Amino acid sequence: MKRELFLIKGMSCSACSARIEKVVGKMAGVEKIAVNLLKNNAYVTYDETATDAAAICERVEKLGFEMSPAAASASVAPQPREDESSAAAAELKRRFLSSLLFLLPLMYISMGRMYGWPLPEFLTGSENDLVNMVVQFLLTLPVLFIGRKFFEVGLRNLLHLGPNMDSLIAIGSGAAFFYGTLAVLFAASAAGHGQWAAVHRYAHDLYFESSATIVTLITMGKFLEARAKAKTGAAIAKLMDLSPKTALVERHGISGEIEVAEVVVGDVCIVKAGAAVPVDGRVIEGVGSVDESAITGESIPVEKLPGAKVTGGTVNQNGYFKMEATAVGADTTLAKLIALVDEATGSKAPIARLADKVSGIFVPIVMSIAALTAIIWLLAGYGVDFALNCAIAVLVISCPCALGLATPTAIMVGTGRGAAAGILFKNAEALETAHAVDTVVLDKTGTVTEGRPQVTDVLAENNDEKKFLLLAGAVESLSQHPLAGPILEKAQELGAELATAANYQLSPGRGVSACVEGERIYAGNEKMFEDLPVSRSEKWQKVLKEGEILAKEGKTPLYFATETQYLGTIAVADEVKPSSKEAIAHLKALGLRVIMLTGDKRETAEAVRKKVGLDEAVAEVLPQDKEATIRNLQEAGHKVAMVGDGINDAPALARADVGLAIGAGTDIAIEAADVVLMKSDLRDAVRAVKLSRAVLGNIKQNLFWAFFYNAIGIPVAAGALYPAFGLLLSPMLGAAAMSCSSVSVVTNALRLRFIKL
């Protein structure tokens, strides 16, 4: 199966996107299609043996739209692109102001006679009725020409039996213009026969101002909508702007500036103070203080020493270093991040299916209601002008724009807000599902804890901690055991030179020993000392009891002694992250049950559980056990989120309803997850749930108002209130109301940009 991005031109409302999805979705070989009205694109998953991109594009073009595969380049770094919404807003603004230039005098002339406003002499008096009508006709023509796109697209879709929003506008405005034009022709004919009373009657039956106003107000609404849309893509635009344009590269001993696209893996790049890191790489010389906030959200600059990884798009605030390029173009972290956010904003949440289903049948139903409205009023004995007024009002007020924008705008703003906070939702489904989670399962190592052992306690027998650490460091300097590293690191922090160790011996499952300063020193667990004289001393029993206390606290005690003399104990543990306790408290405050899974022993798991306030800790589990635990919770009716970072977490992350990968974790874990927490901070899991709840609440608000607006607007436009209250909605007010509904939906979604996480 191939998943490909296509660009689509000609869509104007959710009826368009729903029709494309319906038709393409039925094509042989097409497994899935998700059309994004907001971004004018579609992701199509299809079997290349059954169909291809050309066939898909051809099928869509038969519907009256333009479709083409998105130009993709995997060899170059992502470049900032012109914001299409901003360009569209500028074009719509020009069209709106141009239309307004003709609409204002048209409105003044048409309403001036009604209210006695001062008008040029050649436009006043019954003898000038025909002149007045022709002037209104001539002022209306430029407005309709400027807004001709509504007619081109609307009528084309109507001919393809796929009416959309533009079809409603074209029919509504066109009907008013056609009725007015007939009135001018009949008036001209009456004037030729000297029937001036008929000319005067026709002069009051014009709908030119309604026709022009509908087009102008819809254009204004589209302009405001496009301007608001431009803000929804701000997060992606900012990410794209991070991508450096040039790189200072050293080749064959000569340094020079080249385009970032020309950097290849293995190149040596020079990064000076204040410069951006051009691509992903590894520091090979020098030191720098790199601001990674744009990528990870972490505000504190990170010191980069030789061997450290650096990410393209981050900024070297201080220092100077050389780096070797390890990933370029589309393989860089920034490029993948942009692709991830871009794809997430283009995906479709399950709740969007409701709007899509309604949109697919909405326009034909509205057209039927408009026709029925005209027929009913005509049968009731009202005139053609009254019936036409009601029918046109129904057409223009019923636009499905608000319905189509309700979900994608909230999704786009929500994912952008998340990306700015270092929370990357891979798709809209994850963004929606996260709100319903009732159980959060956490991996221990690297998620709740730091993921690397550290020395927590040093208990020196003679109270000379420095001398004891230097002896312990000397013994462990020859060991490859994972717990030896933290002890050696702690000893090296003292700044003194370690003694030389010799005659190193390893006792598997027990510990190690070595000769230091002429005496053999033993290091390990209690089993290491079972056969040594030191274990038979009274002191040794106290030492073991202290070790048991440390073990209950989740620490691993290592004992150091000669054959006859106890030297001290060093406790090593994978310390809990400072933010974990706070994060877990917040998760519980959101009403979530929090469980920890770990392959560690029960004592350690229980110690961590008590320390951070977990509801439950499941210990000594294998990777497949983690996946099984998630499955069992789901079978019990729970919606489960899994937070992890390791390869062993990948099955559980994939199984969970929502998988959240700690950003510093492995690529496999990130690949398996639905959400990536870039800062490796468990508090971001809380923020992800909060953001999901806020986005879904926003979508529901938007859908409610879109449905409510149409449920109220259509009957009023049809004249339901006229018999009882004499209230009638003019087509002009209908057009204004329709525009306001679309703008209000987008504006409501934009509130998510300011949500506090």
Determine whether 59 is exposed, middle or buried from the number of CB atoms within 10 Å of its CB (0-12, 13-18, 19+).
Answer: middle
Selection from 316, 309, 272 nearest residue 294 by Cα: 316
Chain position carrying tokens 């900012």:
238
Q: Which helix (H) or strand (E) holds 30?
A: strand 30-36
Strand order in the sheet with 66-69: 30-36, 41-46, 2-9, 66-69
Q: Are 618 and 407 in contact (CB under 8 A)?
A: no
CA angle 495-498-500, nearest 5°? 165
User: 254-259 and 246-251 as β-strands: parallel, antiparallel, unpaired?
Assistant: antiparallel
Instruction: Provide the b/e sequence for 290-314 (b: ≥16 CB within 10 Å).
Output: bbbbbbbbbeebbebeeebebbbbb
Distances in Å between the alpha carbon of 650 and those of 331, 642, 660?
A: 21, 10, 10
Q: Are 24 and 6 in contact (CB under 8 A)?
A: no
Cβ atoms of 320 and 286 within 8 Å: the answer is yes
The pair of three-digit structure tokens given for residue 62, joined into one six-digit string: 């038969």
| Cα 45 from Cα 707, distance rounded (Å) | 31
In this structure, the number of other CB atoms found within 10 A of the CB of residue 13 comes to: 26
Could you tell me which of 433, 404, 420, 435 has the C-alpha nearest to residue 746? 404
Are 279 and 310 in contact by the 8 Å Cβ rule? The answer is: no
Please tell me the distance from the alpha carbon of residue 281 to that of residue 302, in angstroms, as a whole number. Answer: 15
Neighbours of 380 (CB within 10 A): 11
Residues classed as catalytic: 443
Q: Which of 18, 357, 290, 38 is nearest to 157 (CA)?
A: 18
* Residues whose CB is less than 8 angstroms from the CB of residue 161 and which lie 6 or more positions away in sequence, other chains included: none
Single-letter code of the amino acid located at 693: R
Q: Output DSSP code: residue 276.
A: B
Helix runs in 533-622, H state only? 538-552, 580-589, 602-612
End-to-end distance of the chain based on CA atoms, in angstroms? 38
